Structure 1
Amino acid sequence: MDVASVLSNVAKKQNILKLLTVLQLTAYLWPPDATLKDGESADFIIIGGGTAGSIIASYLVKHKNISVIVIEAGGMGEFETQQPGLYPFLAKTEYDWKFTTEPDVTMKPPNKRIIQQGKVLGGCSQIGFAGYGIGHPKDYAKWAAITNDSSWTLENLYPLIKRTEKVTDKTILNSPDVVFHGTEGKLRLKKYHSGINDGFFEAYKEMGIDVLNDINSNHTFGYTNSFNTIGDGNRQSTAYSFLSPERENPNLKVAYHSLATKIIFDVNKRAVAVRVLTKDKKYITIYVKKEVIVTAGAFKSPQLLMLSGIGPRYHLESKRIKVISDLPVGQNLQDQPSTVMVYKMGPKRPVPPQNPHELPTQLMEGRVAIDKCQNRADYLIRSSLFLTNLSFLQACSFIFNIRNEVCDRLQKALSQRQAHLVTHLLLYPGSRGEVLLRSTNPEENPIIKPRYYSNPRDLERHAEYLEHYNRIVNTSYFRRLDAELVDPGLERCKGLKKGSNAYWKCYVLGMASTLHNYVGTCAMGSVVDSELRLIGVKRVRVADASVMPEIVGATVQGTVYIIAQKLVDILFKEYNLSTH
């Protein structure tokens, strides 16, 4: 078995799943497709029914006098988006924007890289790997300092977290850690406790790293079984958890396969309407009575704003776009650079049939600091044990986009052994990228330049942290299994002494990947204010990952929920809406 045969198998399964959409097995879950008329209006227009947009819409429509139109570029979720076990087949499908980056000269080789972002109701919460986490208290304290608004500290955000979560894991519910979580919210969260990760936890303890019941404000460093947005056998996307219960609410209209192409402002710089390209390829204008809320994500939100005249003057004028507000839209792009490490573990053993209602692997999460006296972790680990050739090769090539020939070499070296696949994320990178307009055509994806490791210190740090993690090979558990790091045989690294600083730096660049934690392109403090209002204009707010001024030390999706809930509170106060 090689990557080519695995990718062929993936394509066949994707085609089979696509045939299931004809049956509309999950259509009953979602708001019906609204046919919008040119000139109609609503109190709020939400651009992007993704992770944040679904939450915000679900709260606003509960008020009897509020009308909401959601403009969603993708479609409804289908059978495969609802089954947690099928997430490996969702990349590069109609549910994915299929963005690609520009060739990155800081990477080796400097190829274009594939970015997965949800193009479906529920957004990334509907197609990602269902991981969940909240950042370190200092992350949000920095936001509060940037915005000069203490309401963004984690202490003040906890009520929003608790309002969102419905933790069902008994190890949390029956422990002191429950005080950091919600138990009555709509988003079900669970952990897996099969014992398959116990050997790794034993190794981490031997390395002097705590094994935790939960990572929270009291326990910021250590390893634990990951939280997953899964409950009752279903993926707990925000579309499913929040918006689905409002699917018959007459205050809500969702226009699927419709693209917002421009926000229209009057002479006083007040947003008055949104130009929309419908699924029938017709342009219509929808008028707004109160506010336009942009929740299209870290790439499409800045693209829409720039097409609407909000962005860097020099860039907009180069595209002959009239400048309405000169702001650094599209700048400050951040992600957590990720490097894939593969360890040869114990012998393969029979694997039971996969349950599509559960994740195919059981994830661990670790947040590790080189110096335990410091405040925040240096790196984050997401890892799991892969028991079959098929699952490993699919993850290596199709999900993490490692070059096919490298994945084949790794698989050959694994032979009949299990694989511990580690994604090693550098937290708090200093490098910054940007998003630019490719053209004034709203259907053309923007230019994306992540510029990973453009700050040389990031590469030095990441290499050091890989070496720090690799101490695991010296633990008793790894020695019992004769486990080892599999050398991927990178051409550029030949001749370098394995384990040397030069080798690890070469390894970082050659095995680079991403978990798609993109943020910062409409940042608080420079593009929006602390109440998420777009600076320099009126009646527009942005509320998605793009508003994070600095990336948090966790999977960012959990923080997107917080941002959405924060805007709900702001809007309810602003318009004297009834409490929720």
Structure 2
Amino acid sequence: MMFFLHYIIFTITSLIVFMFSSYLNFTYFFDMYKQWYFNDINDFQLYDFIIVGAGTAGATLTARLAKDGYKILLLEAGGAAPPFSDIPLLAPLIQNTPYDWQYITVPQQNACKGLKNNQSKWPMGKIFGGTGKLNYMLYVRGHPLDYDWFPNLIEPIKRNDDTMHINDLKWNTGLADIILKGLQELNQDIGNINDNFKNGFMKAQLFMENGKRWSTDKLLYKYLKNKLTIITHAHVEKVLMESNRAIGVQFIALNKTFKAIAKRDVILCAGAIGTPKILMLSGIGPKKHLEDLKINVIKDLPVGQHLVDHVLTGIDLVMLNTSTSFSMTSTLSPMSVLNYFLFGKGPWTFTGVEVLGTFHSSMQKNRSSTPDLQIMVMPLGLSRDNGVVLKEAMGISDEVYNEYFAPNSHKNTITIAPVLLHPKSEGQIKLRSNNSFELPLIDPKYFSNKDDIETLIDGLQFIKKLVETNAMKSIGAYIYKKHFPGCENETFDSIKYWECYIQYLTLTSYHPAGTCRMGDVVDQMFKVYGTKNLYVVDASVLPFLPSGNINAAIIMLAEKAAHIIKQNTKVHVNYTKCSKSYNYYYIFNH
């Protein structure tokens, strides 16, 4: 009977995933063709600002500049968000669709050995709203010391209805309360770490409005009738440079090539992968790399270097003797569906994380410094959806899934995942060629510094202590003791075993940053060194990862950049009222 029920749930889930995926493919291409037939794009149109990328940073920045009445062109490579994409529960289903850039790293030498071809999948939004449309909506401010590199940067991060909509977790399985009790037994602080801006643990807070996903593109709708022009499905090839001055961009839309001219500034907000790619294609980047690809070098800068990312492990490592209230059966029930669409409540408002928090590993003696570990608690894992969604989203190999995860599909597995907050390993992004349609080479070089492995091992040791608390014992929690495939030769629970485990089960937290970092590629005004009128505002400028999920930090960064750019523009206008206009001859003949 149980086998038959399991088979029915698996079949229904697979069918729903297939239908939703087909629906997303249809809506994406329908939106593209609709633009082709009904939109008219003018070549050589003049704007005050051209902003590339309508993601978390780009939408925030655009809204702030549009508020002051500037004529703005906002270019987005993806399409408009389809109906139902704001349902929090469906986040994993939007990955691996046309609304996702579907980036994938090069094979890793020291990590990702349990993933297909040792490669990590890096979802990133190719959609109006960016990655804020397919992330897990977690609102985390981080630690005050995260922002010491930029004085007064944390001031704009205020919970303000015009800036962001933050809600407490609307639905949880009850596991959250038990986890928090267990953490109290370990003498961890429990409370709103966002308001207190300190270490500790809490139930997750989300970017949410009335039970629906909230993302920064919603800031833009009030300006659509103003001087704001938005072009979606616009593939930006390069920034147009006149000597060292940015005077526009070249992009492809409607199967045609267009040039747009910026009277003031070009601002790249294409993300930690897209922005360095565009800069390098424009001749701004490592000299030798560009020369090898026969790209004319305008400025030799370490673009694409210092790539960092939050890494996690520990998926499905903890098992329970009692069940949580999260299951495919309860989620797909008519009551859950009605509860969401009528009241904005229930499991459909859930994105997967119930509890999160930060702490110092045993290797960090200075407890006033930034924490080096985060914990995220999820009442589910790879085993629970029978490999239909999460296995593919994370890129787990079939062999590893069938041997390690599949046997637990009937059992109660949960995930308490340690996250490496401040990795010492740094990677890079390079161009494959000078063809702008080719995805770049992404090499995070995970665990090239062995200290990162030691820190994550410490995180796993912390989870073992949590599982041994009275609170966790009350629900029959224990560590899954099956050897991870590839680590069979190591003694289970030894340091060598966990070192092997981490190198096999290495997963991204979807937070790449640092590829155009401030101090190397851009200055504290967000302007690209050695250029004029060219700015970068997105995660690529972060010189250090914040101590937590980065969406809130990126909004804060964009708010600060908007203020700086507006101030610079006012100064520029005051001092250059009588200056001659730009020389556009170069643009019309290249």
For the superposition of Structure 1 and Structure 2, which TM-score range results when normalised by the shorter chain? 0.7 to 0.9
- Name structure 1 gaps, 5 residues minimum: 145-149, 163-181
Displacement of 1:272 = 1.3
Give the drift of 1:302: 0.3
Tell me the amino acid that sits aligned with residue 99 of structure 2: Y
Structure 1, residues 245-303: CA drift from partner, whole Å, max 9, x if none?
22222x01111111111111113x1111211111x221111111000000000011000
Cross-structure match for 2:44: 39
Amino acid at match of 1:190: N
Q: 2:183: which partner in 1?
A: 204
Distance 2:396 2:314 in 1: 8
* Residues 370-398 of structure 1: per-residue CA shift (max 9 Å, x gap): 35851221211112213996547456413
Matching of residue 224 in structure 1 with residue 202 in structure 2:
yes
Matched, 1:273 2:277: no
Q: Shift of residue 361 of structure 1? A: 3.5
CA contact (8 A) 2:25 2:98 kept: no
Aligned to 2:582: none
Aligned residue among 294, 298, 310 for 1:320: 294
Do 1:224 and 1:366's aligned partners in 2 also have CA atoms closer than 8 Å?
Answer: yes
SS at match of 1:81: coil
- Indicate if the aligned counterparts of 1:402 and 1:512 stay in contact, CA closer than 8 A: no
Letter in 1 for 2:501: Y
Deviations 1:96-144 (A, max 9, x none): 0001111111125261221100001110111111112112111111x23
- Residue 127 (structure 1) aligned with residue 134 (structure 2): yes
Question: Is 2:351 the partner of 1:376?
Answer: no
Aligned-partner SS, 1:74: coil
Seen in structure 2, the aligned counterparts of structure 1 residues 9 and 340 have a Cα distance that, compared at 3 Å, is farther
Amino acid in the other structure paired with 1:237: S
- CA shift digits 1:420-453 (9 cap, x unpaired): 1133211111000000010001111111001000
Which residue among 274, 289, 298 is the counterpart of 1:300? 274
Query: Of the candidates 417, 420, 423, which is equivalent to residue 417 of structure 2?
Result: 423
Q: Are 1:519 and 2:513 counterparts? A: yes
C-alpha contact 2:24 2:82 (8 A) present in aligned 1: no
Q: CA deviation at 1:400?
A: 3.1
Aligned equivalent of 1:256, options 228, 232, 239? 232
- Give yes or no for the alignment of 1:96 onto 2:100: yes
The corresponding residue for 2:583 is none
- Counterparts of 1:510 and 1:474 in 2: how far apart (Å)? 25
Q: Distance in 2 between matches of 1:215 and 1:33?
A: 45
Task: Say yes or no: does 1:49 pair with 2:49.
Answer: no
In the TM superposition, residue 409 of structure 1 has moved relative to its aligned partner by 4.2
The amino acid of 2:55's aligned partner reads G
Equivalent pairs counted in the alignment come to: 536
- Give TM-score scaled by structure 1 length: 0.86
Question: Could you tell me how far apart the structure 1 residues matched to 2:239 and 2:455 are?
Answer: 42
Instruction: Provide the residue aligned with 2:91 in structure 1.
Output: 87
Match of residue 214, structure 2, among 236, 261, 276: 236
How big is the alpha-carbon RMSD for the aligned residues of Structure 1 and Structure 2? 2.7
Normalised TM-score (structure 2): 0.85
Distance across 2 between alignment mates of 1:533 and 1:20: 37
Alignment of 1:109-508 (within 5 A): 109=113, 111-141=118-148, 143-144=149-150, 150-152=151-153, 157-158=154-155, 160-162=156-158, 182-192=159-169, 194=172, 195-216=174-195, 218=196, 220-240=198-218, 242-249=219-226, 251-267=227-243, 269-278=244-253, 280-342=254-316, 343-348=318-323, 351=330, 353=333, 354-355=336-337, 357=344, 358-371=349-362, 373-374=366-367, 375-386=369-380, 390-391=384-385, 393-394=387-388, 396-414=390-408, 416-487=410-481, 489-508=483-502
Alpha-carbon distance, 1:505 to partner: 0.5
Q: Distance in 1 between matches of 2:217 and 2:197?
A: 31
Equivalent pair of 2:276/2:516 in contact (CA under 8 Å): yes
- 1: CA distance between counterparts of 2:398 and 2:93? 17
CA distance in 1, matches of 2:531, 2:464: 51
- Contact 1:434 1:450 (8 Å CA) reproduced: yes
Structure 2 residue 55 is the aligned partner of structure 1 residue 76: no
Please say if 1:563 is aligned against 2:554: no
Match of 1:165 in 2: none
CA distance change for structure 1 residues 219 and 542 in 2, over 3 Å: closer, same or farther? Answer: closer
Check 1:364–1:393 CA distance in 2 against 1; reply closer, same or farther (3 A cut): farther
Q: Distance in 2 between matches of 1:219 and 1:325?
A: 39
Distance in 1 (CA, whole Å) between partners of 2:306 and 2:563 is: 27
The superposition leaves residues 222-257 of structure 1 with CA deviations (integer Å, 9 ceiling, x where unpaired) of 2111111111132111112x11222222x0111111
**Distance between the aligned counterparts of 1:63 and 1:488, measured in 2?**
60
User: Aligned partners of 2:79, 2:555: CA distance in 1, in Å?
Assistant: 21
Question: How far is the alpha carbon of 1:75 from its aligned partner?
Answer: 0.5
Query: Which residue in the other structure is 2:580 paired with?
Result: none
Deviation at 1:8, TM superposition (A): 6.6
How many Å apart are 1:507 and its aligned residue? 1.0
User: Relative to structure 1, is the Cα distance of residues 299 and 17 closer, same or farther in structure 2, using a 3 angstrom cutoff?
Assistant: closer
Q: Secondary structure at the match of 1:229?
A: strand
- Going from structure 1 to structure 2, the CA distance change for 1:569 and 1:255 (only over 3 Å counts) comes to same
**1:62-97 CA distance string (max 9 Å, x none):** 223x10001110001111322222212100011100
Q: Alpha-carbon deviation of 1:469?
A: 2.1
Question: In 1, distance between residues paired with 2:112 and 2:66?
Answer: 49
Contact map agreement 1:345 1:481 (CA 8 A) in 2: yes
Q: Deviations over 1:465-485 (max 9, x none)?
A: 212222122111332333212
| CA–CA distance in structure 1, aligned partners of residues 381 and 530 of structure 2 | 54
Shift of 1:20: 6.0
Quickly say closer, same or farther: Cα 1:105–1:23, change in 2 above 3 A.
closer
Of 13, 18, 24, the residue aligned with 2:20 is 13
Return the letter of the residue paired with 2:240.
Answer: I
Q: Shift in Å at residue 462 of structure 1?
A: 1.6
Deviation at 1:42, TM superposition (A): 0.5
Deviation at 1:412, TM superposition (A): 4.6
- Evaluate the alpha carbon distance shift between residue 208 and residue 450 of structure 1 in structure 2; reply closer, same or farther with a 3 A threshold: same
**2 CA distance for matches of 1:53 and 1:468?**
38
Contact kept, 8 Å, 2:384 with 2:410, in 1: the verdict is: no
Question: Any idea what SS the aligned residue of 2:462 has?
Answer: helix
* 1:107 counterpart = 2:111: yes
3-state SS of paired residue (2:272):
helix
Identify the residue that residue 547 of structure 1 maps to in structure 2.
541
Q: 1:8 to 1:408 in 2, by over 3 A?
A: farther
Contact 1:46 1:70 survives alignment (8 Å): yes
C-alpha spacing 1:7/1:438, structure 2 compared with 1 (3 Å): farther
How far, CA to CA, are the matches of 1:444 and 1:468 in structure 2?
42
Contact 2:10/2:386 (CA < 8 Å) preserved in 1? no
Closer, same or farther: CA 245–83 of 1 in aligned 2, 3 Å: farther
Contact 1:410–1:487 (CA<8 Å) still a contact in 2? no
Counterpart for residue 166 of structure 1: none
Separation in structure 1 between the aligned mates of residue 540 and residue 26 of structure 2, nearest angstrom: 35
2: CA distance between counterparts of 1:130 and 1:501?
Answer: 34
Partners of 1:470 and 1:428 in 2: CA distance:
22
2:315–2:382 contact (8 Å) kept in structure 1: no
Check the 8 A contact 2:403/2:485 in 1, yes or no.
no
